[in-house]
Amino acid sequence: MTTLTKTNGGPASDTDNVSFMHHVQYQHLIAGISGGVCSTLVLHPLDLLKIRFEVNNGLNYDPNYRGIINGITTIFKQEGIVGLYRGAVPSTVGAGASWGLYFYFYSALKTLQQKGDVNSPLTPSQHLIAATEAGAMTAVITNPIWVCKTRLCLQSNKISQVEHYNGMLDTLVKLYKAEGIRGWYRGFIPGLLGVSHGAVQFTIYEEMKNTYNKHNDTPITTKLSTIQYLTFAAVSKLAAVSITYPYQVVRARLQNQFYSYNGIMDCLRKTWKNEGWKGFYKGLGTNLVRVVPATMLTFVVYENVSHFLISSSGKR
């Protein structure tokens, strides 16, 4: 990979490959943050309930909810509106940072493979590679935020606290004091494996957009309608969740402060032994109710904000 300047100090020619940083556009970062924040603020209560379902191993977890409606109403009765938004700060920060960084890195990596021609379609494998690399970079940066979110979401007035956390910064400090950097990166390996989730989703999403534009003989950067973005986002998310959901259960359980596993393999063995294959899909229904509309909202906001910012920048 070369930079924009030749090694002899002369200007780069049109045939020179350009650097990764040359393709980084702040518009994708802002658009991604906007989409992530909007969807999280609207749907956080379902995310909180999903996490509580995931860590319920049937052995020692209380409270025990009977479905989504019962879970939401029980939390509201016992903990109030505050209870429904436990962990909302790290969740919002994490979603904004994750989506922002993901789109930021992904758009740059994709444009790099296109050699600067944004209307040049990539193959499915190229989309997969770009999405995987973007996901890995994002996971390294944001994992501590997700650990905070999990710990805060699992706090309840009905559970005796191993350690009480007062917000995101307090959680980060107490985690570091108790466990060091390792505490910030609990669940990182299954989270890293979960990069496959985003890679599958983005590959399907991009292929659907490209196929649609090819059918209509329009450039792949053509702005589509809101309905089209919603449809492509929903289908790609459903496919990705169906394929990769178990890693989320394992990650949540490793981050749970109320039950300890001796690593990933121990978590896998105990889950399979005590709950069977169904244990790896706990919270799936709640997750689908939350993530499908969340993804639809995120992508619609992202696509419209990014198109607006890029077109505004081009006009200037």
- pLDDT for res 67: 81
- pLDDT for res 4: 39
The Cβ of residue 159 has, within 10 Å, a number of other Cβ atoms equal to: 13
| Structure tokens that stand for 83 in this block | 């209870």
Q: Choose among 40, 48, 50: nearest CA to 298.
A: 40
The Cβ of residue 72 has, within 10 Å, a number of other Cβ atoms equal to: 17
Q: DSSP secondary-structure letter at 5?
A: B
Written in H, E and C, the secondary structure of 7-20 is CCCCECCCCCCCCC
- pLDDT for res 41: 85
- pLDDT for res 157: 56
- pLDDT for res 212: 95
Domains of the chain: 21-315 (1.50.40.10)
pTM of the model: 0.68
Contacts of 155 by beta carbon, 8 Å cutoff, 6+ apart: 86, 161, 164, 165
Alpha helices in 114-245 (DSSP H): 124-153, 168-179, 181-184, 188-193, 195-215, 226-244
Q: DSSP secondary-structure letter at 216?
A: T
Give every residue of the chain whose pLDDT is below 50, as ranges. Answer: 1-18
How far apart are alpha carbons 282 and 251 in whole angstroms?
13
* DSSP SS3 for 211: helix
Helix 26-54 and helix 124-153, axial crossing angle in degrees, nearest 10:
50
Q: Choose among 38, 36, 58, 40: nearest CA to 48.
A: 40
- pLDDT for res 248: 83
Q: Which amino acid is at 103?
A: F
169-196: pLDDT as tens digits: 898 999 899 989 998 998 888 778 778 8
- pLDDT for res 143: 92
Residue 246: φ, ψ to 5°: -50, -35
Residue 86 burial by Cβ neighbours in a 10 Å radius (0-12, 13-18, 19+): buried
The Cβ of residue 250 has, within 10 Å, a number of other Cβ atoms equal to: 23
Residue 263: φ, ψ to 5°: 95, 180
